[in-house]
Amino acid sequence: MMLRLAAKSLWHRRLTASLVVLSIALAVTLLMGVERIRGATRTSFAAAVSGTDLIVAARASPVHLLLFSVFGIGNPTNNLAAATHRDIAARPEVAWTIPIALGDSHKGYRVVGTSAAFFQHFRYGEARALAFQVGGAFAGDDPVILGAAAARALGYRVGDAVVLAHGAGDVSFALHDAHPFRVAGILQATGTPVDRALYVPLQGLAELHRPANDDEADPLAAAMHGHDAAAPEATLTAVFVGLRARNQALGVQRALNEWKGEALTAILPAVTLQELWEIIGVAENALLAVSALAVAVGLGSMLVALLTGANERRREMAILRSAGATPRDVFTLMMGEAGLLALVGVLLGATIVQATFIAGESWLASRYGLTTGGLVPSGRELVSLGLIVIAGILIGAVPAYRAYRQSLADGMTIRL
């Protein structure tokens, strides 16, 4: 009953009320948005490494290693000898290895040199294998396989010729026009960095890496170049390792870190990812704190609105009292207004977030490889939204208690 009065009272002051609702809604949007992006980032980062037990590369800091080998962020420090890869693969605990050669890009997408083992053994998410939309793994001369997002953005189809250049992207002056790769297959979307790369055989990449200006400087040498020429030994950047048993990971990691041949770093991706989150956590928490502050400001604006209204409303309260309202009713009325404002604000904010994520889901997935991880609000979200509403109601208790005291003191005597 008092709630219906509260609703009517808010409707009467709908301009102020909607501004309050809006500021709460925007704060909630910010808070939920940050939380969702953070959740989505974590899930999709974790999904990208979920199937790999160890990643090995030349000595580097673990986080750096993880970032360049899996996510293509930053540059690899040193190469890895092909012999080292063979030694690792020969270890009894090792079930499979995927050699990776990095350092090139094509129109902004990473070019990854690898072997057929990549398509066979790589796992992401919940032990999911790579699958092809069209075509298949490396086949024919100089094949290139496209990740789903790269294929969509570049518009290539199976059979198209793709000219790759060493190092730079489009603006390379070292184009191997004579040596195009052919699109052999396009992978299905995975929601991981796999989508945003091009895959070529290690051999092809090695040929690409032969200094291009040699050819230009010496047309004879260029003419002699061919597929039958002795292939240069491929250099590797990293090796993804799958073990027969996961509990051997720590032992193998220690053995590789103490490798005698060359200085290696082996990481357990899940562990290193955790380290990464600890680093990023500071910034994340700062963002969260800012959002929480925005919520506080939103609720504060509500308090201001209710308190400024309260004095003008002493007469209204006296009228209600004369009609039989108790001071408790007056309290309920004011609390109800605060609760309604907070509730509507939170619902609006949640709706905005929900709508934005539904609308932007595919964009996020293709652009950032983020899967929004279910559009149903998580229990945690519901709890924090509930807490905001409760905080709103509690804040409403301040003006409500004032009105309660006033109406006890004023009774029905209305003074202007």
Binding site for other proteins (CB under 8 A): 1, 5, 8-9, 11-13, 315-316, 318-329, 411-414
Which CB, 12 or 107, lies closer to other proteins? 12
Contact status, residue 162 vs residue 156, Cβ threshold 8 Å: yes
Which CB, 242 or 396, lies closer to other proteins? 396
Which CB, 8 or 260, lies closer to other proteins? 8
Which CB, 2 or 267, lies closer to other proteins? 2
Distance CA 195, CA 176 (A): 25
Give the nearest distance from C-beta 401 to other proteins in angstroms: 16
Which CB, 5 or 271, lies closer to other proteins? 5
262 half-sphere exposure, CB direction, 13 A CA radius:
16
Which CB, 15 or 171, lies closer to other proteins? 15
Distance CA 72, CA 65 (A): 10
CA distances to 34, 113, 212, 295, 304 from 31, rounded to whole Å, are 5, 41, 51, 8, 22
Burial bucket for residue 293 (CB in 10 Å: 0-12, 13-18, 19+): middle
Structure tokens at 344: 């509507």
Which CB, 325 or 350, lies closer to other proteins? 325
Which CB, 229 or 319, lies closer to other proteins? 319
Give the nearest distance from C-beta 326 to other proteins in angstroms: 4
Give the nearest distance from C-beta 36 to other proteins in angstroms: 38
Which CB, 12 or 367, lies closer to other proteins? 12
Give the nearest distance from C-beta 310 to other proteins in angstroms: 15
Give the nearest distance from C-beta 327 to other proteins in angstroms: 8
Which CB, 191 or 399, lies closer to other proteins? 399
Give the nearest distance from C-beta 305 to other proteins in angstroms: 15
Distance CA 393, CA 387 (A): 10
Encode 164-206 in three state secondary structure.
Answer: CCCCCCCCCCCCCCCCCEEEEEEECCCCCHHHHEEEEEHHHHH
Which CB, 9 or 29, lies closer to other proteins? 9
Neighbouring residues of 299: CB distance < 8 A, sequence distance ≥ 6: 24, 342, 388, 391, 392, 395
Per DSSP, helices labelled H in 313-326 are: 314-322
Give the nearest distance from C-beta 12 to other proteins in angstroms: 3
Place of tokens 């291009």: 212
Reference 139, options 183, 189, 177, 99; nearest CA is 183
Give the nearest distance from C-beta 335 to other proteins in angstroms: 17
Neighbouring residues of 340: CB distance < 8 A, sequence distance ≥ 6: 3, 6, 7, 10
Give the nearest distance from C-beta 328 to other proteins in angstroms: 7
Give the nearest distance from C-beta 322 to other proteins in angstroms: 4
CA distances to 72, 108, 166, 169, 266 from 103, rounded to whole Å, are 9, 12, 8, 11, 20
Distance CA 416, CA 267 (A): 75
How many helices and strands, by DSSP H and E, does the chain display? 14, 12
Structure tokens at 160: 């198209």
Distance CA 394, CA 405 (A): 17
Give the nearest distance from C-beta 270 to other proteins in angstroms: 58
- Which residue type does 376 have? V
